[in-house]
A and B are shown apart, each in its own frame.
Chain A
C-alpha cells in the first residue's frame, strides 16, 4: 500500500527561526513529490519535485527531493506568523496516463511572534 509519512506532526517556533519539515514516501511507480500549504481552507500548491537533488526555491521556501532515500524536505527560513499552516506533502504515482496522489497527514506549523 502506498504510504507517505510526514514529521514532525506539529512544530512551534518563533518568528525568524528556520524550520525543516520532512516527508518520506513508499509509492509504487513514483513520479513526483508535491508540497502544499493549507491554512483555513483549500491547500495551495507550493512545489512539485520530479528530479532528485535539484532544489526548488520560492522566496524563503525551498525544497529538495532524494529519490534514492525516498524523502523530501521543505525548508522555511526567517519564518513569519503568516507561515503558520498545515504543510502537506503528497507523492504522485502513475501507470500510463492514470495517476493518483497519496498525502501525508501533514505538519502543523505554528509561528509565534
Chain B
C-alpha cells in the first residue's frame, strides 16, 4: 500500500500571503489529522477530519482551516501568513475502524518557510 503523501514538500511564502497544503491518506483510511511541528513547541495538533467533517480542533487561530473531500484527501489552508507559521506541517491518516486500537501513519510533511 502506498503511504501518506503530502504536497508540496517545501514551500517558501512571504508574510501576509496564504497557502494551501495537500494530504492524500493511505487508501481506505478515513481519518486525517494535521499537526504543526516547530523546534520550540514540538508537535501540536491542528485538527482532525473524518468523513468530510472536522471532528476535533486544536488551539490554533482561525487563520488555520482545512477540509476533507469525499475521497478522504484533505487540504489545509493558512491565511495571512506570519513568520511564526514557519514549521513542518505533518498529516497523518488512520483507518478508524476501531478507535481504541487505531494507530496513525504520518506523511513526510510540508516544510513551510515564511519570510
A residues with CB within 8 A of B? 31-32, 34, 36, 41-45, 48, 50, 88, 90, 94, 97-106
> What 0/1 readout, one digit per residue, does chain B (36-75) give for beta carbons within 8 Å of chain A?
0000011111001010000110100000000000000000
Closest to B3 in A: A42
- B103-A102 in contact (CB<8A): no
**Which residues on the B side are within 8 Å of A48 (C-beta)?**
101, 103
- Contact among A50, A94, A98, A103 for B43, CB-based, below 8 A: A103
Of chain A, the residue at the smallest CB distance from B105 is A45
Measured between C-beta atoms, what is the minimum distance from B39 to chain A in Å?
A: 9
Residues of A close to B55: CB separation below 8 A? 97-98
Q: Hey, which bits of chain B sit against chain A, CB under 8 A?
A: 4, 33, 35, 41-45, 48, 50, 55-56, 58, 90, 96, 99-101, 103-109
- Contact (Cβ within 8 A) B106 A100: no
User: A36 — nearest CB in chain B belongs to which residue?
Assistant: B106
- Contact call A32/B90, Cβ cutoff below 8 A: no
Residues in A whose Cβ lies below 8 Å from that of B35: 103
| Chain A residues within 8 Å of B33, by CB | 100-101
